[in-house]
Structure 1
Amino acid sequence: MTAKDLVMTTDSPRPTLVLVYQRASLPWVFEGAERAGIDLVLVPRPDEAVSEDRLPPAVVELLRLDIEADRAGALDALRRRYEQNAFQGVVTLFDPAVPFVAEAAELLGLPGIGRDAALGAQDKRVMRERLAAAGLNVPGFVRLDRPADWAEAARLTFPVVVKPAHGFSSLGVTKADTPQSLKSVVDEVWRTSEGKLGQVDGLVVEEYLDGPEFAVESLAQDGAVRILTIGYKGDPQGPHFEEGVYRAPAALPEAVRDAVLREVTAAHKALGITDGPTHTELRLRGGTTPYLLEMGARIGGSGVSHHVVSGVTGIDFAAQALRLAAGLGAGLPVSDGLPAPVGAAANYIVPCGGHGRVTAIHGLDALRDDPRVDHVVQMLFPGDVVRPYPDFTGYPAFVLSRHEDLAETEEFHRFLERSIRIEYAEVADHGHEGQA
């Protein structure tokens, strides 16, 4: 079913979406729903307390489900809620929830990408296979269904990168420089993923791609893909590929930019993503040839992608994506190329810069009143414990800003590197790990 085929099935004057596992502290999607005239039924994350009397904008109801521990029960609860009071769609910005949301939408006959497309967008093994079958740029790779099979990947050209098949936010992603180190890296990634994700369905080992990293934000409708922004994500060398910056629009030669547009558009078709927002991360091998790292069928960064698209293009990405999820159509004209930029936007991810118990974070409070800054999203506070990777994989804070142009953005990030500092005290083996 496509968005335009949906018939409204409720007497409510406003369409309603079920929003799965969005953190209430991250505002963009809630504000976007308000602007779009859409009510939200929020399924909160199990590890986040959300008060009934202090709901985010546009949220009219809380529906508590545990989609990980009781998937069948959660689907049944959604079905019963739909039968009692119909809603128009189910949506998420949380990558591990994408398959659940696709299954729920399919079960209820609501707009969605379908379970098969969701599998390709969430399982890196399936994604690699489908991109390769479509003739797109794919590094040499091997899928591992158990750690004991590590030797099957020793035939690849080293260095290689080991990834959990269902990982997200660089969780567990680790570089192995030589065949001799591969077994220990595979074992480490398996343990890390098991500890952080609760289970491991398998790994992907793929040849390391040199070259800078970029993110691409897109919105698809009825199979037509509108690419909105391309942003620079740095040039992480490993071994763990922690995220650092996101600056858009990226400065790219015209031929390279066009190659990125072609590759990302073709990837939508290869993965079967015909409707909804996507967040694509890729590397330019040798600085010129785009190779997809992953394509998520969601607004990226729990809403950070909306901030970037809005700041660069003036397009209300969150509102348009939610309208599409509700079957209302996004209303974006389909055209070749990128929209003309109206400004620059960025996300600076504050690095941990050490480990231990946080005693002070300097430089963040002053940024809250900086006219260039839209949001300071703080995840770590004094008293929280940061352990060395892989025991801790979060971030202290995001600083989201808007600027006149890319040069101003780069200068602002250099200022943040100098001005933000975290102090630590040593800790014993036990302590409360900060939550990201």
Structure 2
Amino acid sequence: MTTHSRRPTLVLVYQRTTLPWVFESAERAGIDLVLVPRPDEDVSEKRLPPAVVDVVRLDVESDPAGALAALRRRYEEDPFQGIVTLYDPAVPFVAETAELLGLPGIGREAARSAQDKRVMRERLAAAGLHTPGFVRLDDPADWAAAAHLAFPVVVKPAQGFSSLGVTKADTPQSLKGVVDEVWQTCASKLGRVDGLVVEEYLDGPEFAVESLAHGGDVRILTIGYKGDPQGPHFEEGVYRAPAALPDAVRDAILREVTAAHRALGITDGPTHTELRLRGGGTPYLLEMGARIGGSGVSHYIASAVTGIDLAAQALRIAAGITPEPLGAGSMPMPVAAAANYIVPCHGSGRITAIRGLDELRNDPRVDHVVQMLFPGDVVRPYPDFTGYPAFVLSRHADTSEAEAFHRYLDQAVRVDYAHDTDPQGQA
């Protein structure tokens, strides 16, 4: 099937249809989508999401050369205006495809800077930005090269995603075991290991920053609180925006994040940045993703807080269309508060029930309950990363109300596991 639409068309790579925001934003922006679904998702062409005019099944991760060749053929037969993804591992593929076809994009080098944590750390340090001590490991046998760092340290895959493999090592004596464990976990989960980063642990609360760049001009839309995870593994739990910050700290975050865009070469499109305030006041980037974060959750947060349709703006940029003006000032004024409660696994094994979600679907504060795990699914223990049971996305008058709601959810939502499974989640 080919499209003959007068509307701009984008190829959207590996977006789950159960997460609605990018599809709805495309419809509002007047942009058609050709969906490349995730291989594990069965997409019915009889019930496509808004704005989707075609489905093309490609294996972007296992056969990138074949996927690129297929998109090149399609482009020659029925040109599209751009290609985009919200799935972090696909960012380099999307950047390469756009570059080879002469479409808008950040380019392969910028995509590599954002996706490979080794390169990101090196470029941030070279730009003089706040950077913890770090060592890149291209072989687990080289673990001793990181033993001189100030402990504790965090070991993470160079090209991982979410919390996969991220593990804290408290002492030099425990480092080898942690490096071996993370390497083995990544080899099993990803099918390969491109390397690890060992970096000094950053104390202080964690924050997420949603930004939009166009032509090198970076606008910070929101700063949200992400908790204060201590490790040894770093399971995400909350996201509440806007964060209550002193003006001086907020301005320091704006400067650091804007400078990081320049250091990594990200001039166009959305970014999702995670950072920690070391000592409670100095921003150190953990990572910057060159895409809308959380498969669209970042769009929900930013749009609810600011009234700006982040996904629509990002899609316009990807299609080579000038985005709508974002207004004056260093940041948009908040119009509300928004939150994401990431239901914690709190264990491992075979899920028998996830209690409390049905009641929340009718809660007036809740806009979306996005469930990813279900009874019968097996949750493997960290440092492996199975996924999160569910997101509870809610809107509030202010962040204090959101915080109170999350305290309620701590008691209201629970994951139950079978008692006949071993620690690895096998029956």
Q: TM-score, normalised by structure 1?
A: 0.95
CA contact (8 A) 1:120 1:127 kept: yes
- 1:239-388 pair list within 5 angstroms: 239-333=232-326, 335-388=328-381
CA separation in 2, counterparts of 1:203 and 1:392?
16
SS where residue 214 of structure 1 aligns?
A: strand
- Alignment counterpart, residue 404 of structure 1, candidates 397, 400, 425: 397
Question: Match for 1:178 among 171, 195, 203?
Answer: 171
CA–CA distance in structure 2, aligned partners of residues 367 and 80 of structure 1? 46
- Residue 87 (1) aligns with residue 87 (2): no
SS of equivalent to 1:169 = coil
Q: How far apart are the structure 1 equivalents of 2:172 and 2:239?
A: 32
Does residue 59 in structure 1 map to residue 58 in structure 2?
A: no
Figure out how many residues of one structure are paired with residues of the other and give that number: 424
CA deviation map 1:265-300 (0-9, x unaligned): 000000000000000000000000000000000000
Cα pair 2:241 2:301 within 8 Å, conserved: yes
* Change beyond 3 A, Cα 1:71–1:358: same
Alignment match, 1:132: 125
Cα deviation for residue 70 of structure 1 reads 1.2
Aligned to 1:219: 212
The 5 A counterparts of 1:114-133 are 114-133=107-126
Rounded Cα–Cα distance in structure 2 between residues aligned with 1:288 and 1:430 = 39
The equivalent residue for 2:199 is 206
Unaligned runs of 5+ in 1: 1-9
Distance in 1 between the 2:223 and 2:268 partners?
Answer: 19
Offset of residue 421 of structure 1: 1.6
Amino acid at match of 1:424: Y
Q: Distance in 2 between matches of 1:399 and 1:164?
A: 28
How far 1:346 sits from its partner (Å)? 0.5
Q: What's the counterpart of residue 387 of structure 2?
A: 394
Match of 1:3 in 2: none
- Give the whole-Å Cα distance in 2 for the aligned partners of 1:163 and 1:373: 34
Instruction: Give the distance between the partners of 2:295 and 2:214, measured in 1 at CA.
Output: 21
Task: Write out the 4+ residue segments of structure 1 that deviate beyond 6 Å after TM superposition.
Answer: 430-433
Mapped to 2, the partners of 1:195 and 1:273 lie a distance apart of: 31
Structure-1 separation of matches of 2:20 and 2:267: 27
1:40 matched to 2:17: no
What is the CA deviation profile of residues 40-63 of structure 1, one whole-angstrom value per residue up to 9, with x for unaligned ones?
000011111111112111111111
For residue 11 of structure 1, report the CA deviation from its aligned partner.
6.6
State the 1:432 CA deviation.
8.6
Q: Is the 8 A contact 1:248 1:344 kept in 2?
A: yes
Per-residue deviation at 1:236?
0.2
| Cα distance in 1, alignment partners of residues 400 and 82 from structure 2 | 40
- Alpha-carbon distance change, 294 to 212 in structure 1, aligned in 2, over 3 angstroms: same
Cα 1:125–1:383, aligned 2, differ >3 Å: closer, same or farther?
same
- The CA distance in 1 between the partners of 2:384 and 2:216, in whole Å, is 41
Q: CA deviation at 1:356?
A: 2.4
SS at match of 2:209: strand
| One-letter code aligned to 1:159 | P
* Cα displacement (A) at 1:105: 0.1
1:355, CA displacement in angstroms? Answer: 2.4
For structure 1, which segment, 355-364 or 288-297, has the greater mean C-alpha deviation from structure 2 after superposition? 355-364
Q: Tell me: CA distance 1:71–1:363, structure 2 relative to 1, closer, same or farther (3 Å).
A: same
Among residues 407, 424, 427, which one is paired with 2:417 in the alignment? 424
Aligned residues: CA RMSD: 1.5
Is 2:104 the partner of 1:111?
yes
Write the distance in 1 (CA, Å) between the matches of 2:9 and 2:20. 18
Assess if the C-alpha contact under 8 Å between 2:165 and 2:385 holds in 1. no
SS in 2 for 1:175: strand
Q: Residue 225 of structure 1 contacts residue 334 of structure 1 at CA under 8 Å; is this kept in 2?
A: no
CA–CA distance in structure 1, aligned partners of residues 209 and 163 of structure 2: 17
- The answer to whether the Cα contact below 8 Å between 1:217 and 1:230 also exists between their aligned partners in 2 is yes
Q: Which amino acid aligns with 2:360?
A: L
Residue 388 of structure 1, CA deviation: 2.0
SS at match of 1:266: helix
1:350-396 per-residue CA deviation (whole Å, 9 max, x = no partner) reads 01122222222211001111111110001121222223223443111
Q: Would the aligned equivalents of 1:226 and 1:334 in 2 still touch at CA under 8 Å?
A: no
What SS does the aligned partner of 1:369 have?
A: coil
Contact preservation (8 Å) 1:284, 1:290: yes
Larger mean CA deviation between 227-236 and 59-68 belongs to 59-68
**AA at the equivalent of 1:167:** G
When normalised by structure 2's length, the TM-score is 0.97
| Separation in structure 2 between the aligned mates of residue 369 and residue 310 of structure 1, nearest angstrom | 22
Given that 1:384 and 1:432 are in contact with CA atoms closer than 8 Å, whether structure 2 keeps it comes out as no
Gaps of 5+ in 2: none
Counterpart Cα distance in 1 of 2:337 and 2:423: 43
CA distance in 1, matches of 2:80, 2:303: 27
Distance 1:413 1:328 in 2: 39
Assess if the C-alpha contact under 8 Å between 1:224 and 1:334 holds in 2. Answer: no
Q: Is the 8 A contact 1:233 1:245 kept in 2?
A: yes
Q: Contact (CA 8 Å) 1:376, 1:399: kept in 2 or not?
A: yes
Instruction: Quote the Cα distance in structure 2 between the aligned partners of 1:308 and 1:329.
Output: 23
